[in-house]
Amino acid sequence: MHGLGNDFVIIDARREPFSPTAAQAQRIADRHRGVGFDQLILIEPPRSREAAAFLRFLNSDGSESGACGNGTRCLGWLLMTEAGTDKITLESRGGLLPCELLADGRVRVDMGEARLDWKDVPLAEERDTLHLGIEAGELKDPVGLSMGNPHAVFFVEDAEEVDLESLGPELEHHSLFPERANIGVASLIGKDALRLRVWERGAGITLACGSGACAAAVAACRRGLTNRKVAITVDGSLDEETGEDLEIEWRKSDGHVLMTGPYALGFQGLLAPSLLGELE
């Protein structure tokens, strides 16, 4: 499946446990010799009575991620369709994730509360998360927060012009981020509208990043650039046939972030045993 080009291999491990090693995840992620993905998503039995399933997210380098907004939206549709309902609650390491299928066909996910304290990002030392004070090249002074993953959002005049392929890895591994960080570059393109590009930790530049879009919307509101409801244009939004903006709302009542957008099912199939090797 994919959400605006942010693509996933999804494996149902509810009945038969499946726990790939980092090396196995990397083999599946190989776009030439495997299947290819930005994230591998495992559907596991729920750990909470309130949830229908537990989601685990692995990046293309085999590392585990705490959240994946586009992936959760895709899984929300998949499991709502399976259950014959228009509402479902999923869970991940980041907590419960209520999902809703809207009348227009999009899926809305409650991504939970934006975490703004430096310990929650987490940072290696106490800093004002509204002004982290780090820089690389033309990127300076990001906003830091966690949306289940650590994020640093830089505001620039033109996100298209930033050499994110070079600066992203450097900033992902900055000493301020003990768990590494997703690096977003955002520019204001209209009233309550942002253009966003993201270097995802463990995956590199992706066509869309749901948690990154949530982080950018919260960061823009905190900086006074937008209101609490923002349209986010990502790389995947630029596709003339299937692209559209993500709609992000940072709810004032409880600090939760709501993400609304599309989903797409590419194909279903079986992984060859030779691709997986021996399971632990």
Select which of 68, 99, 214, 221 is catalytic: 68
What Å distances lie between residue 19 and 31, 61, 74, 278, 279, CA to CA? 21, 15, 21, 11, 8
What span, in angstroms and rounded, lies between the C-alpha atoms of 83 and 97? 16
- State yes or no: is 209 an active-site residue: yes
- Radius of gyration for the alpha carbons in the chain, expressed in angstroms and rounded: 18
115: which DSSP letter?
B
DSSP E strands: which ranges in the chain? Answer: 2-3, 6-12, 39-44, 53-59, 64-65, 87-92, 95-101, 107-113, 135-136, 139-140, 143-146, 150-155, 182-190, 193-200, 204-206, 229-233, 246-250, 256-261
Select which of 99, 209, 214, 221 is catalytic: 209
Best CA proximity match to 66, nearest among 87, 97, 33:
97
157 within 8 A of 177, measured Cβ to Cβ: no
Q: How many C-alpha atoms does 250 have within 13 Å on its Cβ side?
A: 23
What span, in angstroms and rounded, lies between the C-alpha atoms of 148 and 234? 20
Name the residues annotated as catalytic. Answer: 68, 209
